[in-house]
Chains A and B, each alone.
Chain A
Amino acid sequence: MTVTLAGVPAESTTALDGESLHPVVRRRRPRPGPLVAGGFLLLLLVAVVRPSLLAPGDPLAADPLTVLAPPGAAHWLGTDHLGRDVWTRVVHGAGHSLTIGVAATAMAVTAGVLLGLLAGLAHRIADEGLSRSFDALSAFPMLLLALLLIAVVGPGTTSLIVAIGIATLPHHARVVRAQTLLVRRAGYVEQAVTFGLSPTRLVARHVLPNVLGPIPVLAVIGLGEAVLAASGLSFLGMGPQPPSPEWGAMLSEGRNYLQVGWWITIPPGVAITLTVVALTVLGRHWQARFDGRQSR
């Protein structure tokens, strides 16, 4: 008679010795988090590209007759102190908030990659100099640094983008530098030296592609951070000026009416939170998958 051994614990991690062809049990069920996050970001993309699909109204149209109307059938999320539809403004605001985030991140990543590569490939002295300046930059709290820059150049969308770009740059530069140092010493780069490749080819064929691999993932995670920073700064009045429906600016405008009309402040706040959470969840998910692919 054959009896099943029921109580065998699943504690051991290396069940089978040997090669990759052999099975290692790995649970891989699609998790709902990244799916929901992706869905939300798709919706956000629609709001950025064609906001009128979701909210056909004009975000700037004030209606003095329906000031501070609570959420209802006519106005899903109510109206603000000037009678503007909050839903319409939140939808149209996505474009403003995300554009700033994307532009700032693009700037930070581009500059960060270039400087990080330079530091990683350069001789020790140049690397030392660059690395210490990354350290100095990141020693400032990000918002403080951005505030400082905006105080010099004046508020506005462009200066907000530049400020956040510079403030988040050292993070990307450091990651790229560390990655470059790692790849430079990898076995396959050393092996490629024995093929007689010139230094330029070596960098172009083996170093660069392997350094840049994880960058898109990091950029997505950085994007969430940048969106949050942008909202914070424009809440302080350092970004797009009223009446533009930027989320941070909307929060700022609504804060005086919190007691009579909470619905002016809550929706842009929720929009910021969801966006940042969705970007982070998706970014981490990709990161986990990327790491998994690397380690196998």
Chain B
Amino acid sequence: MSQLVAVKNLHVTFATKGGEVRAVRGVDLTVERGEFVAIVGESGSGKSVTVRTLVGLPGPGARVKATRLELAGQDVRGHRPRDWRRIRGRLAGLVLQDALVSLDPLRTVGAEIAEVLATHDIVNRWERAGRTIHLLDQVHVPEPERRSRQYPHQLSGGLRQRALIASAIAGEPALLIADEPTTALDVTVQAQILSLLAERRAAGQSLLLVSHDLAVVGQIADRILVMRDGQVVEQGPADRLLRAPNHPYTRQLLDAVPSASSRGRRLSTPARRGPGRTVVVRVQATLPARQPVRAGDPVLSVAGLTKRYGEHTVVRNVSFTIARGETLGLVGESGSGKSTLARIVAGLLPPDAGDVTFERTPWSAAVERRRRPLRRRLQVISQDPMSSFDPRYTVGQLIAENLDPGLTRAARVDDVTALLRRVGLEPHLRDRHPRSLSGGQRQRVAIARAVAPRPTLIVCDEPVSALDVSVQAQVLDLLADLRAADGTALLFISHDLGVVHHLADRVLVMKDGEIVEDGPVGDVFTYPRHDYTRSLLDALPDLVTDGRP
């Protein structure tokens, strides 16, 4: 009876046009009262489906089978929608990734929470308003009275996530299920939400957290389950699992996390997948030697750059240079002006003040016609490759468009093949449409297209933020390989300090449109001078890495 969740041999299959898809294949899962359990896995591992099944929401067209499926000792197999409604909110509260989607845009957050109170008859009508404010206060929403009268769009991402947690705990559920609750948030906000979850646990709440980020769950969970292809490949106490992983896949996931200690080595592990099980050859290969950074020879210099939108100054007096072959990291939270700066550097947005010089020629001040011949030497890779692809083009056409226009048709085909090979894609993908590719493959296509004209500088705007950690590892390795081979300089923009620490030579820290700190990446991240840099680093969930080979 002390087991809150007891699942044995859970199978969830989806009937699709292409046949049955087995999303969850024989998962065993238990959560004790007061325990904090985390499920870690990559996209499509079945982790979300597993926890959603616990609240009776496995998804449309799902068939669920289990030898045992109990919530608080109650067998929920064969439950009807009405029965599930009694469980949701009361026995198990669910917090989803994107609070903007999960909260009703036409209702105040107070009304949202009050509804849970009303549905499960937690307090009487007169006490609801007071309880709502109390709940918001419990999740540390400042000025809870005012906030409870506001609509989701008036709140920041962090506050929305807090409000969502408040509504999930309003029904005083024994179990709080959080499905990627911090994925859409900045590191500092993520740290706050994680400490909030830890606080709930300290108060005796059982938690089931789903995440793709080992570092996030490693900090706060008691026990971790690693899922892959619908199965649990390894589980154990968080400490043990992170320090001494048994399963090669767990090890591969841990190795894939970029950080200070991963500099100079490959993140991705070449994996051979046999039928049924995976054989991972574990070689911690080092990255190829790079061409020297020519410090005295700037590819790009930026001086006194300022951009305003109305009253709001997005970029304020920013100056920096990138040397030939250098990788400059640019970190900052959302809204800090990183992307605006990237667009100005790429010559897509005119600055209000200041100058950009590229290859020792005026860039931001020049008219487009003068810029055009130089454009091919400065390429851009964006976070969402799909939106940068013309929806009518095939992979081959996309890459070919950025090749030298003077090439013959045959040379073009050869070049596209060579480029696809270079970024680790099969040449036959040439005729495919990006729609039918995975996220990692799409980003490879974008990279192939960017390196096609042999640029001297590539502006990478959050190129790996949308990818799973092992796919991210492969893409980062690819960028490192290309950088070593071509001596290309990179302006690498990311909110992920680990990624920047892994890849960059120097780093700029941006806050509210200003560069608050800059210097060699090791110095800045080891001895941060500015408070903001320090708070970013403190917020970073740290993987327990010692003890691992």
The answer to whether the Cβ of A18 comes within 8 Å of any Cβ in the partner chain is yes
**Contact (A206, B44) CB under 8 Å given A23-B16, A25-B15:** no
Interface residues on chain B, size class: 35 or more
CB neighbors of A among B8-39 (8 A): 9, 14-18, 21, 23
B276 within 8 A of A: no
> Shortest Cβ distance from A1 into chain B, in angstroms?
7
Interface stretch (choices B64-72, B243-251, B321-329): B64-72
Which residue of chain B has the shortest Cβ distance to A1 in the bound complex?
Answer: B67
Answer whether residue A4 sits at the interface, using C-beta atoms and an 8 A cutoff: yes
Interface string of A19-35 (1 = CB under 8 A from B): 11111111010000000
Q: Interface segment, B125-133, B166-174, B280-288, B380-388?
A: B380-388
Contact call B402/A16, Cβ cutoff below 8 A: no
| A209 pairs with B388, CB closer than 8 A | no
How far is the CB of B143 from the nearest CB of chain A, in Å?
32
The answer to whether A4 and B63 have CB atoms under 8 Å apart is yes
**Beta-carbon contact of B52 and A12 below 8 Å:** yes
**Contact of A15 with B60 in the complex, beta carbons under 8 Å:** yes
Give every chain A residue within 8 A of B389 (Cβ-Cβ).
188, 191
The reply to whether A194 and B17 contact each other, CB–CB distance below 8 Å, is no
Stretch from B215-223, B299-307, B435-443 forming part of the interface with A: B435-443
CA distance A105 to B78 in the complex (A): 57
When A4-B63, A25-B15, A187-B384 are in contact, do A194 and B346 touch as well, CB less than 8 Å? yes
- Cβ contact within 8 Å between B57 and A12: yes
Q: With contacts A5-B77, A195-B375 known, is A17 near B64, CB below 8 A?
A: no
B66 & A17 in contact (Cβ 8 Å cutoff): no
Give how many A-B residue pairs fall within 8 Å (CB-CB). Answer: 155
Across the interface, name the chain B residue whose C-beta is closest to A207: B390
Contacts of B375 in A (CB 8 A): 193-196
With known contacts A20-B436, A196-B373, A188–B60 Cβ distance under 8 A: no
- Chain A residue, CB-CB nearest to B63: A4
The one of A7, A13, A26 that contacts B84, using a Cβ cutoff of 8 Å: A7
**Residue from the list B61, B83, B347, B435 in contact with A296, Cβ < 8 A:** B435
Q: Given A20-B435, A23-B14 in contact, is the A5-B387 Cβ separation under 8 Å? A: no
A145 to B461 alpha-carbon distance, docked (Å)? 52
Quick check: is A14 within 8 A (CB to CB) of the other chain?
Answer: yes
Q: Is the CB of A8 within 8 A of B387?
A: no
Q: Which of A1, A16, A191 lies at the interface centre, i.e. has the most chain B CB atoms within 10 A of its CB?
A: A191
Is the CB–CB distance between A194 and B69 below 8 Å? no
Q: Mark A188-231, 1 if CB is under 8 A from B, else 0.
A: 10111111101000000110011001000000000000000000
Q: Which of B346-405 contact A (CB under 8 A)?
A: 346-348, 372-376, 378-380, 382, 384, 387-392, 401-402
Interface residues contributed by chain A, number (CB under 8 Å): 45
B58 within 8 A of A: yes
The residue on A at minimum CB distance from B79 is A7
* A19-B78 in contact given A188-B387, A196-B373 (Cβ < 8 Å): no
Query: What distance in Å separates the Cβ of B416 from its nearest Cβ neighbour in chain A?
Result: 15
Q: Are A5 and B65 in contact (CB under 8 A)?
A: yes
| A23 and B56 contact, CB distance less than 8 A | no
Distance of A24 Cα from B15 Cα, bound (Å): 9
Chain B positions 38-67 with a Cβ under 8 Å from a chain A Cβ: 42-44, 47-49, 52-53, 56-67
A72 part of interface (Cβ distance < 8 Å)? no
- Cβ–Cβ contact B81 & A9, under 8 A: yes
Q: Is A73 an interface residue (CB 8 A)?
A: no
Q: How distant is the Cα of A44 from the Cα of B400 in the complex, in angstroms?
A: 45
A6 interfacial by beta-carbon distance below 8 Å: yes
Given contacts A19-B438, A23-B18, A187 and B43 within 8 Å (CB-CB)? no
Q: Write out the residue numbers on chain A whose beta carbons fall within 8 Å of the beta carbon of B65.
A: 2-5
Is A188 a contact partner of B391 (Cβ separation < 8 A)? yes
Verify if B180 is at the interface (C-beta below 8 Å from A).
yes
Q: Are B60 and A2 in contact (CB under 8 A)?
A: no
Residues of B with C-beta under 8 A to A11? 57, 60, 81
* Given known contacts A4-B64, A5-B65, A188-B388, A15 and B78 CB-to-CB distance under 8 angstroms: no
Which residues in B have their C-beta under 8 angstroms from that of A5?
A: 63-66, 69, 76-79
What's the least CB distance linking B452 to chain A, in Å? Answer: 9
How far does the alpha carbon of A188 sit from the alpha carbon of B398 in the complex, in Å? 10
In the bound complex, CA of A3 to CA of B52 (Å):
18
A contact residues around B9 at 8 Å (CB): 2
Segment 134-191 of A: residues with Cβ below 8 Å from B: 186-188, 190-191
Interface residue from A1, A194, A196 paired with B380 (Cβ < 8 Å): A194
B81 in contact with A7 (CB, 8 Å): yes
Docked Cα-Cα span, A191 to B59, in Å, equals 37
Contact A12 B60 (CB under 8 A): yes
- Across the interface, do A195 and B18 meet the contact criterion of CB distance under 8 Å? no
- Among B48, B59, B387, point to the contact of A186 (Cβ < 8 A): B387
Contact among A16, A19, A23, A194 for B48, CB-based, below 8 A: A16
Q: What CA separation (Å) do A193 and B371 show in the bound complex?
A: 10
Interface 1/0 per residue, B108-121 and A, CB below 8 Å: 00000000000000
Contact between chains at A191 and B380 (CB < 8 Å): yes
| B80 contacts A by Cβ under 8 Å | yes
Q: Is the CB of A15 within 8 A of B52?
A: yes
Q: Which of A14, A192, A294 is B59 in contact with, Cβ under 8 Å?
A: A14
Closest chain A CB from B484 CB (angstroms): 23
Which of B21, B61, B379 has a CB less than 8 Å from the CB of A194?
B379
Within 8 A of B (CB), among A226-279: none
Question: What is the bound-complex CA distance between A192 and B23, given in angstroms?
Answer: 39
- Given the interface contacts A2-B66, A7-B80, A16-B23, does A294 sit within 8 Å of B382 by beta carbon? no
Interfacial chain B residues near A205, Cβ < 8 Å: 390, 401
Closest to A187 in B: B387
With A196-B373, A294-B391: A15-B64 Cβ-Cβ less than 8 Å: no
Q: Which residue of B lies closest to A11 (CB)?
A: B57
The residues of A that contact B77 with a CB separation of less than 8 Å are: 3-5
Partner among A24, A26, A193 whose Cβ is within 8 Å of the Cβ of B348: A193
A125 at the interface (CB under 8 A from B): no
Q: What are 13 A-B contacts with C-beta separation under 8 Å?
A: A5-B66, A5-B78, A7-B78, A7-B83, A8-B62, A17-B43, A18-B44, A25-B15, A25-B59, A25-B61, A26-B17, A187-B387, A294-B391
Q: Which 3 A-B pairs have the closest CB atoms?
A: A15-B59, A18-B43, A196-B375
Known pairs A7-B80, A8-B64, A8-B84 / 12 extra A-B pairs, C-beta < 8 Å: A2-B9, A2-B66, A2-B67, A5-B69, A7-B83, A13-B60, A15-B58, A20-B438, A188-B388, A193-B348, A194-B379, A194-B380
